[in-house]
Amino acid sequence: MKKSKQLLLITALLFIWELPVIAQQPTDTTYIFRFVPNDDMFYVPWNGNDRSLHQLLNILEKNKKQLQAGQMYISVSSYAASANDILTSERMAYIRNNRIKSELITQGGLTEQMFVTDRAIPSSYGKEKLRNVVVVTFPASVEKVAEIAGIEAARRVENYNKERSGKAERERLSIEQAAREKAEAERLAKEQAEREHLAAQEKARKQAETERLAAEREEKERAETERLAAEATAKAKSHSLSLRANLLRWGTLTPDLGVEWRLNHHVGILVNGSYTSWTWNSNDRRYALWEIAPEARYYIGKEKRGYIGAIYKAGSFNYKLSEIGKQGNLMGGGLTGGYQLKLNKALNLDFSLALGCLHADYDKYIVIDGIRVRQGKETKNWWGPISAGVTLVWNVF
């Protein structure tokens, strides 16, 4: 008892004597490790223990040199440890402290001499009144080191704190000076960049305005030139003649030719004609037809390239592509529309499609020993597409 009172007296005197030093010592940080009530085992993944352990190991690794030199200590305290059927609360607190220290020693490469360990603290911890927790404080305060590790250890910590405090102050002043210089340089650079940016914006604005005015003048001149050219063309060319060849028909080995006479810019009259005659397989197969298709068109649009109109079609055919042949006449008509794509001054490409009705009267026949034998007569009406063309147009004049 007497020895305990002496130790408390020495600790109090040392604390009063070293108050200025304590004010200079580095700020401590606490790490809380939670335990299951009535259990002395330390569960790392439980209730945030793994996160606290990882953070503590990182800071201890950065200060291991000071720990090894006895210039820093780790304070370990158990708060409000609950007893169980085997262990008293004091024994439970002792074991829990050792669990934490063992984990740090094993993972952090530390030694027992780097710790200052409290006896069991029966009260709860902090404003939240936490119970069944072990609180690790790093670095331990000078008074805590003096109380547990002794006066000599406390002096080493005190001397290190003094040295560190002066060095930290110099580093702080140096960092502040560097920060002020950097801020001033950044301010000047920002002002210079802002001036350059404003100058570039003004230059770009003037350049854009100049280009806009030039583009407007050019557009007006171009539009006026096109208008005058269109008027001159309209005056010089109110009539035109063109020759036509439907490439779709030619693609099926059916020659197709036509002519169009433009009465004016809007109205055109044209006639297309097709003819083909093919036989093979000793005259047993035949493909023959002729057609004539007059058409009237009304051209629309600014450049008069689109059109609508009416078409009439008449002709005869003789098809024998299988055992039964068909020979007869066709007639019909409908509405047509399309667009002419200009290739150059002389050539256009005319895309057209006509919808309407075709009426066909024809005989069905077979061929026996080279002689056609009539098998009957049929009549059909077809509603739908009656003509399609991708036609090459040559403007003669």
Q: List the one residue out of 170, 48, 68 whose CA is nearest residue 114.
A: 68
pLDDT value at 124 more than 60? yes
Contact (CB, 8 A) for 133 and 80: yes
Query: Pairing between strand 256-262 and 29-34?
Result: unpaired
Q: What is the pLDDT of residues 344-381, one digit of tens each?
A: 989 999 999 999 999 999 999 898 877 888 899 999 99
Mean pLDDT of the chain: 88
Alpha helices, DSSP H only, in the chain?
2-17, 19-24, 49-62, 64-68, 89-108, 142-148, 151-236, 247-251
pLDDT in the model for residue 233: 64
pLDDT value at 23 more than 60? no
pLDDT value at 1 more than 50? no
Task: Return d(Cα 50, Cα 41) in angstroms, integer.
Answer: 14
CA 86, 95, 107 angle in degrees (round to 5)? 140
Contact (CB, 8 A) for 287 and 271: no
Residue 390, C-beta contacts closer than 8 angstroms, at least 6 positions apart:
246, 247, 248, 349, 350, 351
pLDDT in the model for residue 305: 92
pLDDT in the model for residue 26: 52
Global pTM exceeds 0.85: no
372 CA to centre of own chain: 72
Contact (CB, 8 A) for 355 and 309: no
pLDDT value at 10 more than 70? no
pLDDT value at 149 more than 70? yes
pLDDT in the model for residue 232: 67
pLDDT value at 14 more than 70? no
- Tokens 């004539």 appear where? 292
pLDDT in the model for residue 2: 46
Mean pLDDT on 165-193: 85
Task: Return d(Cα 167, Cα 64) in angstroms, integer.
Answer: 19
What length is written for the chain? Answer: 397
pLDDT value at 40 more than 70? yes
Query: Pairing between strand 285-300 and 240-246?
Result: unpaired
pLDDT in the model for residue 167: 64
Residue 223, C-beta contacts closer than 8 angstroms, at least 6 positions apart:
none
pLDDT value at 286 more than 70? yes
Count of CB atoms situated within 10 Å of the CB of 281: 8
Residue 258 Ramachandran class (φ > 0 left, ψ -120 to 50 alpha, else beta):
beta
Residue 150 Ramachandran class (φ > 0 left, ψ -120 to 50 alpha, else beta):
left
Phi, psi of 255 (to 5 degrees): -55, 135
Q: What is the pLDDT of residues 300-359, one digit of tens each?
A: 998 899 999 999 999 999 988 888 999 999 999 999 999 999 999 899 999 999 999 999
Contact (CB, 8 A) for 31 and 55: yes
Q: What is the DSSP letter of 286?
A: E
Q: Which domains does the chain have, with CATH numbers?
A: 2-174 (3.30.1330.60), 240-395 (2.40.160.20)
Mean pLDDT on 15-19: 42
For residue 46, the SS3 value is coil
pLDDT value at 103 more than 60? yes
CA 47, 48, 50 angle in degrees (round to 5)? 120
Mean pLDDT on 34-61: 94
Q: How many helices (H) and strands (E) does the chain have?
A: 8, 12
- Tell me the pLDDT band of 147, cut-offs 50, 70 and 90: confident
pLDDT in the model for residue 355: 98
Q: What is the pLDDT of residues 220-247, one digit of tens each?
A: 999 998 888 877 665 555 678 999 999 9
pLDDT in the model for residue 13: 46
Helix (H) or strand (E) holding 369: none
The encoded tokens of residue 205 equal 């604005």
- Tell me the pLDDT band of 296, cut-offs 50, 70 and 90: very high
Mean pLDDT on 248-271: 93
Task: Return d(Cα 22, Cα 25) in angstroms, integer.
Answer: 5
Query: Pairing between strand 240-246 and 29-34?
Result: unpaired
- Tokens 């066709």 appear where? 330
